[in-house]
Amino acid sequence: MNVNEALEKLEQIELKIYANRHAMSLINYDAYTRAPKGSGDARGKTLSVLAEEGYKLMVNDALREVLGVLLENRDSLSEVDRRRAEVLFEDLEKMQRIPMEEVIAFQELTNKAQDVWHDAKVNNDYASFAPYIDKIVASLKRQSKYIDSDRDAYDVQLGEYEKGMDTKKLDAIFGEMKAGLRPLIEKVSSLPIRDDFLRRKCDIAKQRELSDRLMSLMGIDRNHCTIDETEHPFTDNFSKYDVRITTHYYDDAVASSLYSVVHEGGHALYELHTADELQYTCLASGTSMGVHESQSRFYENIIGRSRAFVSRLYPMLRELFPNEYSDVSEDELYRALNKAEPSLIRTEADELTYTMHIIIRYEIEKMLFSGEVTSANLPETWNRLYKEYLGIDVPDDKRGVLQDSHWSGGAMGYFPSYALGSAYGAQMLAAMQKDIDVFGSIKSGDFSKVNGWLENKIHRYGRMLDPTEVVPKACGSEFSPKYYIEYLSEKLKDVYGI
């Protein structure tokens, strides 16, 4: 087989892999949005057939042969084709290392764990969920060993979400963030800010209209991106031509859906702006969870909670909710949307305290993998760290250790992505401000400059770059959390006048 034949074959194989993933993702998306409650078993059958097909499409001699020819001739390939072959080979190797039985057993374990967790959370019944924590940790440790027996098991899991990241690096990054953020939290958390109006009842139909307006303000192409409603907001993408976001409306919390739309909109823009030439290949999507979160959290917090953005938002709220917002000034709205206060729930946390929620989870995950924490002392460890880092008492497990779905779904090592994303985003802002008038253009309602900068420096590359390459390439400097600490210090000075 020559190089051209191998490239042709690769294209055919990748198209099949894409089609299989497209079908599976769409079925999963349907499960979250429209499918009837009782459809789970039937869907499970289809998904397990497709998952097996997906495995076979990746792990087979034909693909190995094609990749072998391409990697042998890598110097004659275009940049994109070389990267395609390298990334796909790496994906294949990893997939093959974990035995199929382990993958299936883990799938079954986490399916069950998610159901149990759901009820445990509703009933505040940690004991029923506890055994699953130990089983999931044990399975993940085995999987890490299959993937790379020379590396620490938790480091392997971290690398699954953020390639190139490990505990040594994260300890240093989070150490710096902790030292920078804790004094700020102590300083502002007792200062009062008026925010009563954020809990006023706002008509859901009008909130839907607000979502549409926000999406068009952000420059999201509605021809390739829709919005649905789900319990927990998320973004899904099948290719850059078909991206879906979801939100959840609460009549007494207009900011909740509003910022979900801006956050998920940030994820959507990343996918919508990956390069055409990468579509239907293994390089098509965002490069990592951390970089994806950098985009969503950049739009949600750095842009979405800026004075410039609030100056666009304020007239919309006054027009859509004239009674609810008649006694609120633009400045009061800005301050309320940026109020910082230690709280129990990660997903509702403000920009300042959010990182501490992540650091707590990171430290617990490390201890779960080292054996220092097991299901037996997990809640007390959680509660102790919440007291130590955020100064608050956790009243029950429902609002404590049971609040997130990640662990029940088998994702350990995922949480750090959120904090990394926030910090990447602040560094991107610093670099972007050297090139364009970021907040001036947002204030004038023009997102094209910001979107264009991100598309050009980050989005279009998809998986062409490893996550550790994204910040240095886009910003011209090595990643450092100092930008994030500086950004937050400045922001809080403005919000609190301190």
Q: Which residues bind Zn ion (CB under 5 A)?
A: 296
> Taking the CA atoms of the chain, what radius of gyration do you get in angstroms?
23
**Residue 296 vs 375, nearer CB to Zn ion:** 296
**Residue 293 vs 397, nearer CB to Zn ion:** 293
> How is residue 120 written in tokens?
């445990």
Distance (Å, whole) CA 74 – CA 387? 54
**Residue 266 vs 462, nearer CB to Zn ion:** 266
Q: How far is the CB of 287 from Zn ion (least distance, A)?
A: 15
CB 244 within 8 A of CB 192: no
For 410: left if phi > 0, alpha if psi spans -120 to 50, otherwise beta; the answer is left
Distance (Å, whole) CA 72 – CA 469? 25
Distance (Å, whole) CA 66 – CA 7? 8
CB 302 within 8 A of CB 262: no
**Residue 54 vs 233, nearer CB to Zn ion:** 233
Helix axes 351-370, 482-496, angle to 10 degrees: 140
Helix (H, G, I), strand (E, B) or coil at 40: helix
Q: How far is the CB of 346 from Zn ion (least distance, A)?
A: 12
Q: Which of 162, 264, 324, 351 is catalytic?
A: 264
Distance (Å, whole) CA 51 – CA 104? 10
Q: How far is the CB of 192 from Zn ion (least distance, A)?
A: 30
475 burial level (CB within 10 Å; 0-12, 13-18, 19+):
buried
Distance (Å, whole) CA 355 – CA 352? 7
Among 203, 210, 240, CA closest to 225: 240
**Which residue in the shown chain puts its C-beta closest to Zn ion?**
296
Residue 72 annotated among the catalytic residues of the structure:
no
Torsion angle in degrees (nearest 10) through CA of 339, 267, 474, 488: 10
Q: How far is the CB of 68 from Zn ion (least distance, A)?
A: 37
Q: How far is the CB of 266 from Zn ion (least distance, A)?
A: 8
**Residue 265 vs 379, nearer CB to Zn ion:** 265
**Residue 132 vs 298, nearer CB to Zn ion:** 298
Q: How far is the CB of 250 from Zn ion (least distance, A)?
A: 19
Active site residues: 264
